Amino acid sequence: MSVLAHGLALSADARIGVRLTTLAGVLCAGSLLAGLLTMRGGPRGWGARVRAVLDGLLVAGSGAYVVCLLVLGPRIAMPPVIVGAAGATVAVVCGVGMAVCLRASQPKGPVFAVAAGAGLLSAGTFAQVLWRWAALPGSRPAGLVLWLAGVGVLVAAVVRATRGEPGPGPAGHAPLPRLGTGLSMLPVAAALGATLYHLVTVGPLTVRATYAATAVAFALVGRQALTMRDARRYADELAHREAHFRSIVAGASDVTMLLDSRLDVRWLSPSAAWRLGLIERDIVARSFLELPHPEDVAAAEDVLRDILAGPGGSQTRMYARILDAAGEWRDLESMISDQRHVPQVAGLVMHCRDVTDRKHLERELAKMAYADPLTGLGNRRALLRTLHDEAGGRVCTLLTLDLDGFKNVNDVRGHDVGDAVLVEVAHRLRANLRPGDVPTRLGGDEFAVLMWSGPQTAAVVAGRLLKVLNAPYRIEDLTVFLSASIGLAGCRTANDVPQLLRNADMALRAAKRRGKNRVEEYDAEYARSMAARADMAAELRGAGERGELSLVYQPVLHLPDNRLVGVEALLRWRHPRLGVVRPAQFIPVAEESDLVEELGTWTLHQACHQLSAWLRAGHDLWASVNLSTRQLHLPEFPVHLAELLRVHRLPGYRLTLEVAEHRMARDIKGLSERIMAVRGMGVRVALDDFGAGYSSLAQLRSLPVDIVKIDKDLEPLADLVVQLGQRLGLEVIVEGIEQPEQLATMAAAGCQLAQGFLLGRPMPAEQLEALLEETFAHDVGQVDSGREMRQALPHAADPADRST
């Protein structure tokens, strides 16, 4: 249309060319306006486009009115309608372009480019109209330049838009009232000012000026009508949003508060009424610090003051208890949002959630975590927490208690009775401790008491507790008798909490080992001894596989003919770090740590292997091996023994198993059955250390043994024991012969077999093999025969070797 207008302006007749050029310019302006109003980034919706057109008309009409009234009016006559239409078209295009640019969404570059191009094209067309109408000098080249500039700007806008189109952006209108009021009021104000100036300086308005002013007024009325319509729509939308917000807030379970910078409550959500029973008129304008529990006020104030001291926009969590209308303290978890930078809020927003049930559950779980459910006392975790939190720098003593024989109560009376006993123990502890002392149950029948005093005072209290706990326990129609063992350790004996617990346990262990039913204080020397025993037990495990164990053999002589008829296999241990460890040291450790079965199996295998080699070499003798009752009680022991005899091709009667007499006091019936099974293979069984233990004759009659080995302590009764053995059909071996007088006494009593350091000390297998080749030619009944035996059989160089 712009090209057509310029072509018509150059080629047609002057009168016809003006009309045609103006018509083409109007059509060009219309297409440009349509492009401006519908392009991306421009106004959206018909309401926004109508507002943009009205704003453009206001700007254009007011501008044209001011120009005509102040510039053209006094100098030249008003142009004809055709020229006025062309000028009005340019003004409308520029005004609408300005409105569209001001209301454009981001990015605004393409919109500004199109609006500028449309204004330049319209101005160029208007310049051609002026040239054709009035032949103004310079209007023709000016119109051409403006036209070319407009085309260039439009082409650039199209190229930019195709390279990167702007996003959809926000709505095509600006919020009221700022931009709308500025577009409508400023041009009108300029027109009013021009009118007043004209009335004062020139005189009354002309008819055309009145018509123009009336048109501007109508445009303003239309624009204001649209503004009122938008304002009503915005008001309805805001009322709808407010109602929506209020319904959400009122129905929410969380309570919302708004605090100002002085921490006064400015607003309270309706949910506070039915959630906590708080009424808005009673809370608003009061300080929030008047609401929390007295114990929570300081912490809540610290949190709120820290938020106020911050830069703003932060969020913090806070816990506090608030009194509800029923007089109960409710636990509230509050999320505080600092909204002081938001003008509509200008305060702290608190979203409070009632977490009373959750806190109650947490307290119950904490109680379960730190309390024993049976007795109600604290548990081990509670004791550790108390020691870590409160024991630092304070004098304290830890007592550990254990009930002696409690396992039998559970096994015989049942666990219900056992639980009742534990509850009664807890009751007695509470009733007999001082205020501030902390009783706990560590587990099973083990208790602990943490006392805030030194070991001397604690020992007095422990003695009183011992008497209290030893009193009978009456459970329904039953009476249970128990004793207790107590160990105590002062806090100064340990560097940390775990060591204090170990020291108290060590003292309790000492009380158990020393007879039970007693109080023992921690002893560092005893602890070192037990640590050494534990280290020895660890090193003893697997010693046979590492080649650290060996056997030595002590001869057993037939006294009438001074002949070596048997040997006793004795275990020895040589450790690379501990050196030679005596049997009296490591055998008790093995029995306590369940290693005696491993050692017994290794010893039995090695002894059978050596005895089999001696038998194959033609030597006529038997071997005895010490066996623990625990190993004898194993169900698989008879099968294992039979397999051992088969592998080594060893006759059963060549092997003797020695069982200590003092270890047979319990379960005689079961032990007799095991012995009979062993004897069924031809293996003989010897009762060792008879006279050093219980020495029960009834026990001797009830046990199906073959040999009795009497201790040297029974020397005055040797003749009676020998006669008893002969009457019961048992062989008698005297052990521990160390003096010639002992040998003479035992021989006179009729003892046939004997062993001891006088007759031969324990020796390696190689040394014993050399003795087997010798012939004993002297009579053992003579007094000096012992001296000749001592010359033949080497003596023990170290008294420590006397322990077998």
* pTM (two decimals): 0.53
Give the pLDDT of residue 421: 94
Instruction: Report phi then psi at 348, rounded to 5.
Output: -100, 125
- 335 beta partners: 317, 351
Quote the strand ranges of 563-693, DSSP E: 563-575, 579-581, 622-626, 655-660, 684-690
- Beta-carbon contacts of residue 767 (< 8 Å; ≥ 6 apart): 794
Tokens encoding 797: 């160089």
Flag whether pLDDT at 181 surpasses 90.
no
- pLDDT tens-place string over residues 44-79: 777 777 777 777 777 777 777 777 777 665 544 555
CATH superfamily of 554-802: EAL domain (3.20.20.450)
- CA–CA distance, 163 with 113 (Å, rounded to integer): 15
- CA–CA distance, 387 with 385 (Å, rounded to integer): 5
- pLDDT tens-place string over residues 345-362: 888 999 888 888 888 888
Evaluate the omega torsion of the peptide bond into residue 170 and state whether it is cis, within 30 degrees of 0.
Answer: no
Tokens encoding 261: 């910078």
Mean pLDDT for all residues in the chain: 79
- CA–CA distance, 653 with 646 (Å, rounded to integer): 13
- CA–CA distance, 675 with 95 (Å, rounded to integer): 123
Flag whether pLDDT at 546 surpasses 80.
yes
Query: Whose structure tokens read 């605004």?
Result: 108
- CA–CA distance, 69 with 84 (Å, rounded to integer): 14
Q: How far is C-alpha 515 from the chain's CA centre? A: 44
Tokens encoding 18: 């003006």
- CA–CA distance, 548 with 312 (Å, rounded to integer): 76
Flag whether pLDDT at 600 surpasses 80.
yes
- CA–CA distance, 105 with 100 (Å, rounded to integer): 10
Q: Is 689 left (phi over 0), alpha (psi -120 to 50) or beta?
A: left
Q: Nearest Cα to 596, choosing from 623, 636, 626? A: 626
Q: Between 56 and 394, whose confidence is greater?
A: 394
| Residue range 153-176: mean pLDDT, rounded | 58
Flag whether pLDDT at 803 surpasses 50.
no
Alpha helices (H) in 310-414, listed in sequence order: 356-370, 380-390, 406-408
692 pLDDT band, cuts 50/70/90, is low
Q: Nearest Cα to 94, choosing from 74, 107, 75, 112? A: 112
Flag whether pLDDT at 341 surpasses 80.
yes
- In the chain, which segments carry CATH 3.30.450.20? 252-361
Give the pLDDT of residue 708: 85
Give the pLDDT of residue 787: 40
Give the pLDDT of residue 648: 92
| Residue range 264-281: mean pLDDT, rounded | 81
Torsion of the alpha carbons at 274, 277, 280 and 281, rounded to the nearest 10: 140
Instruction: Report phi then psi at 556, rounded to 5.
Output: -115, 120
Query: Whose structure tokens read 């949002």?
Result: 337
Q: Between 533 and 94, whose confidence is greater?
A: 533
- CA–CA distance, 146 with 120 (Å, rounded to integer): 5
Class of domain 371-522: alpha beta
Give the pLDDT of residue 622: 92
Flag whether pLDDT at 451 surpasses 80.
yes
Flag whether pLDDT at 652 surpasses 60.
yes
Give the pLDDT of residue 461: 93
- Beta-carbon contacts of residue 559 (< 8 Å; ≥ 6 apart): 743, 746, 747, 751, 752, 753, 754, 780, 781
| Residue range 467-475: mean pLDDT, rounded | 92
- In the chain, which segments carry CATH 3.30.70.270? 371-522
* Count of Cβ atoms closer than 10 Å to residue 292 Cβ: 21
Q: Which long-range contacts (CB under 8 A, 24 or more apart) does 366-370 make?
A: none
Quote the strand ranges of 355-467, DSSP E: 397-404, 438-443, 446-451
- 677 beta partners: none
- pLDDT tens-place string over residues 705-717: 888 888 766 666 7
Give the pLDDT of residue 261: 87
Class of domain 252-361: alpha beta
For β-strands 315-323 and 329-338, DSSP reports them as antiparallel
Give the pLDDT of residue 138: 67
Flag whether pLDDT at 165 surpasses 60.
no
11 pLDDT band, cuts 50/70/90, is low
Give the pLDDT of residue 441: 94
Please name the helix (run of DSSP H) or strand (run of DSSP E) that holds residue 732, with its range, or none: strand 731-735
